Amino acid sequence: MLGHHYTHSFLETAIASVNAGCNLELSYGMRNNVFMHIPQALAMGNITLQMLRDRVRPLFYTRMRLGEFDPPAMNPYSSLDLSVVQSPEHRNLSLEAAVKSFVLLKNVRGTLPLRARDLSGQRLAVVGPFADNPRVLFGDYAPVPEPQYIYTPRRGLEMLGANVSFTAGCSEPRCQRYSRTELVKVVGAADVVLVCLGTGVDVETEAKDRSDLSLLGHQLELLQDAVQ
């Protein structure tokens, strides 16, 4: 809030945050963080002791549920080891979450969903800077998984047994160098074309926002060429 000029000091920020219901500050690496000013705000009467108790209660309730204050032998999480990472159960849950989080904005003539049984003999083209680049598929604050567990659009479609051709058109999201000739060649020979565009963390992250939603570089040109 200080950076956005909503407040003028850490003290003001602490008062406004606590009064608004905020009970947790992300202040990694800061010696003098915002919530260090809570005692001063309390002494000035800008917040009350009961308010502090109300803010702290859910934090400690969560920590207690996680077993942070229990002996290790009583904590079920203590028995977990690296064998659960990327376990089949977790990967299946991840797949379910991915499937259920898709947002379909338009579906002209019922083109979607593409079914594996209908792809036999079909020629698919997967194009765009996001079609087969695992690195750009993850957002800000996302963990970096092992490469063998990353399924790009190209890799996923190839697993269906379809005849898939690919060209990126441009190798990175900013799409400053665009190979139109190769894209037109690949798209022209296909029955179904999937165009994979976007931004990615190279372009926008926390504290690095854009002023508009336009496609970057030659991405719009790439899309228009694919459609035509």
Tell whether pTM > 0.75.
Answer: no
Does position 28 have pLDDT exceeding 80, yes or no?
no
pLDDT of residue 187: 97
d(Cα 209, Cα 140) in Å, to the nearest integer?
12
The percentage of residues in the chain with a pLDDT greater than 90, rounded to a whole number, is 57
Mean pLDDT calculated for residue range 44-50: 96
49 pLDDT above the threshold of 90 = yes
Q: Helices in 6-85 by DSSP H: which ranges?
A: 10-20, 38-44, 49-65
Domains of the chain: 10-74 (no CATH), 106-227 (3.40.50.1700)
Handedness of CA 134, 137, 138, 140 (dihedral sign): positive
Q: How confident is the model at residue 215, as a pLDDT?
A: 94
Buried b (16+ CB within 10 A) or exposed e, 172-186: bbbbeebeeeebeeb
- Taking only the tens place, the pLDDT of each residue in 58-88 is 999 999 998 889 998 888 888 888 888 888 9
Over residues 102-120, the pLDDT tens digits come to 899 999 998 888 888 888 7
pLDDT tens-place string over residues 121-170: 889 999 999 999 988 888 888 877 777 888 899 998 888 878 999 999 99
Closest to 192 (Cα-Cα) out of 149, 220, 160: 160
Which comes out higher in pLDDT, residue 120 or 20? 20
CA distance 141 to 26: 13
